[in-house]
Every structure is written in structure tokens, then in C-alpha cells.
Amino acid sequence: MEKDIIVLGIESSCDETAASIVINGRKVLSNVISSQIDIHTKFGGVVPEVASRKHIENISFVVQKALEDANMKIEDIDVIGVTYGPGLVGALLVGLQYAKGLAYSSGKTFIGVNHIEGHISANFIEYPELEPPFMCLVVSGGHTFIVYMKDYGEFEVIGQTRDDAAGEAFDKIARAIGLGYPGGPKIQKVALEGNPEAIKFPRANFHDNSLDFSFSGLKSAVLGYLNTKKMKDEEINEKDVAASFQKSVVDVLVDNTMKACKSRKVDRIAVAGGVASNLCLRENLIEEGKKNGIKIMVPKPILCTDNAAMIASAAYFEYKKGRTSPLDLNAIPNLKLGER
């Protein structure tokens, strides 16, 4: 019987300082997250310098709490995994430097993890029986991808955004209609009382049969609609705007992902990233999945937003592939999926 591999995961790519202990990439013993949402809300978005300072303040406590919650000491850990990109460079460096120092001082195996691969790996925690191959829709504030996971650590990008990420578009439109930050949950809440068919906003499709996304045109259309209404001094129904905008985003995400499944003859879709918590997206994917005989897998919300359990899981599968990282590894804020 193989020895259990215990991984300490550390995540600090944006505005969550997180640490987690995970066994064999699938069993979570602790998952500690210190969120900065309340701090950044008053600024209307994440301020990189503020995020970095808060990470410095929180990281030692968060790591120690993760060890305590798992009833472990650093001596019990086999691998230390940490996000090194993509993300905000200052924020990434806090977690990365802390993890490197901890790995060096304790003599533990050190592995840098791609944040997007971490999001995909959250599904291995939620669905312990899950094995590749499968299709994955990664949708968050900074990323929108359709990824074919051929094997552990082996990815093929089928489609991606050519401009704004879906979550970024949610934040911008929420700000435009006066809902504030973070945009995703606020638009979802207001949209529940709106009519998604009230306003016909565009859905971007490319003539080259690409399954890429574009949300900049949709964003411009919504802003143009709002400006026209204001110039004419007409009442704006924020609930209808939110619902119609949300439906435009969801329709494209669902349609392209279903097409990707058919192109690779895959019957399973795993969803990942913060926008995966959106109820409209979940419901539409499940509905289309039933029509097409495709199983939809979505982790619980705490595993969709940034967390360290997903980083620990991804680090485990890197370790099993024999991939480790040098202690001079640097942060790569624009790291691409599959790059090492």
C-alpha cells in the first residue's frame, strides 16, 4: 500500500490569503481562508498594494491555523505547494516567498502551482472518483477557459476569452448599474427579480468556428443602453438589465462548452472558478447537460472561489508526475495554462 502524501497548499494570488492540508490530492483536512472582500469593497475593486500588505499580515497565522485544524505539525508534511501565477505579482510573491522559506527550513519538497490548474483540481476534491479525461469550464474574475483535461497535468485549451474575463465583465456592469463590488453575487441577486428576456444584448460568435469568448462587446452594449436611457431621462430597470446581461454571458458559456464536449466526444463537464457559483450558470449547464447526456460537476462554493485546498490538490498530482520546483522559482503574473 502506497504511503499517503500530505500536502500543505498556500494561495495568495489575489485578495484571499489561504492555506490548506490535503491528503492524496482529494481529502481535505483543513482549509483556511482569510478574505479581503470587506477591505476592497470600499475601493470598488481589488487594490494590489493593499492586497499585498494584507497577505503579509495574514499569511503566518493562516498557515499555522491550517496545521492546527489538521492536528499536524510541519514535520508531518511531505510537500509544500504554492501558487506562483497567474495573479497580482505583489500578492503572488508574498505566498511564494513564504512557501519557499518554509520548504527550505523544513527540508520539504517544494512545488509551484498554476492557479488555473488549481481551480480545475478543485473537482478532484469534490468528486474523489473523478479521473481524466473530461472537459472543464474555468470561469472567474480573471480567467475564462474551456479546457480539455487529457490526463493529470495535461491540458488542451479549446477556447478562451479574447478580452475581458466573464467575472471581470460582471464586476464592470455591476459598478455601472450602481450595485458595487463584488459584481458577480450582486448581479445574481438582483437578476433573480428581473426578466432575462427584457433586453436583447449581443452574444459574441467568431466566424472562424473558434470557441473563444469575447465580453467587451457585450459590456459596451450594456453601457450604451444605460447611457441612452440616461440621456433620454428614461427610467432604468436595474433588475432587467442585470438579468438580461447575465443571460447573455451564461448563454455563450454554456453553448461553447457544449460544442467543445461534442468536438472531443466527452460526456463530463467539470466547472471551476468563482463564477461557477453563479446559480444561472449552474442551472443552464445542468439543463443542457441532461438534454445532451452530459454529466455536470460543480464544486461547492468554497472550492470555487480562491482557496488553498485546490492548490494542494494540484501540487499532489504534480508530485505524482515527478515534477518539483527549484527554490529560486519566481512569480509569473501572466502564467499560461500548461506552462511550467
Based on the domain organization, do 162 and 290 belong to the same domain? yes
What are 310-325's pLDDT values in tens digits? 999 999 999 999 999 9
Asked if 209 and 181 sit in the same domain, the reply is: yes
Residue 295 amino acid letter: K
339 inside domain: no
| 247 located within any domain | yes
Whether residues 279 and 184 fall in one domain: yes
Give the tens place of pLDDT for each residue, 293-309.
999 999 999 999 999 99
User: Are 196 and 310 within one domain?
Assistant: no
168 shares its domain with 279 = yes
Structure confidence by residue, pLDDT tens digits, 206-247? 777 899 999 999 999 999 999 999 999 999 999 999 999 999
- 150 in the same domain as 276: yes
Cβ atoms of 203 and 251 closer than 8 Å: yes
What pLDDT shows up at residue 334? 94
Q: According to the model, what pLDDT value does residue 125 have?
A: 98
- Average pLDDT of the segment spanning 38-47: 75
Residue-level pLDDT at 39: 76
Say if residue 164 is in the same domain as residue 293. yes
Residue 334 domain-assigned?
Answer: no
pLDDT given at position 45:
75
Which pLDDT score, from 0 to 100, does residue 340 have? 78
Q: Answer whether residue 36 shows pLDDT above 90.
A: no
Q: What is the pLDDT of residues 51-67, one digit of tens each?
A: 899 999 999 999 999 99
Q: How confident is the model over 121-142, as a mean pLDDT?
A: 94
Band of the pLDDT at 196, cuts 50, 70, 90?
Answer: very high
In terms of domains, do 38 and 166 share one? no
- How high is the pLDDT of residue 51? 84
Q: Residues in the chain, how many?
A: 340
- How many domains are contained in the chain? 2
Query: Are 149 and 120 a contacting pair, CB within 8 Å?
Result: yes
Chain-centroid distance, C-alpha 157: 15
Q: What is the CATH number of the domain that holds 238?
A: 3.30.420.40
Q: Please give the model's pTM, rounded to 2 decimal places.
A: 0.93
Residue 40 scores a pLDDT above 80? no
25 and 158, same structural domain?
Answer: no
Residue 33 lies in a domain: yes
**Average pLDDT along the chain:** 94
Same domain, 166 and 314: no
Domain identity same for 170 and 191: yes
Domain hosting 271: range is: 132-301
Please check whether residue 333 lies inside any domain of the structure.
no
Measured between alpha carbons, how far is 313 from 7 in angstroms, rounded to an integer? 8
Largest CA distance in the chain: 73
Higher pLDDT, 38 or 163: 163
Q: Is 286 helix (H, G, I), strand (E, B) or coil?
A: helix
Q: Is residue 20 in some structural domain?
A: yes
- The 10s digit of each residue's pLDDT in 71-106 is 999 999 999 999 999 999 999 999 999 999 999 999
pLDDT confidence band for 9 (50 / 70 / 90): very high
Nearest C-alpha neighbor of 254 from the set 272, 228, 225, 281: 281
**Based on the domain organization, do 193 and 97 belong to the same domain?**
no
Q: Is residue 329 part of a domain?
A: no
Is residue 332 situated within a structural domain? Answer: no
| Cell (9 digits) for 80 | 509544500
pLDDT of residue 206: 79
15 phi and psi, to 5 degrees? -125, 20
Task: Return d(Cα 203, Cα 253) in angstroms, integer.
Answer: 10
Q: Is the pLDDT of residue 50 over 90?
A: no
Say if residues 21 and 6 touch (Cβ distance below 8 Å). Answer: yes
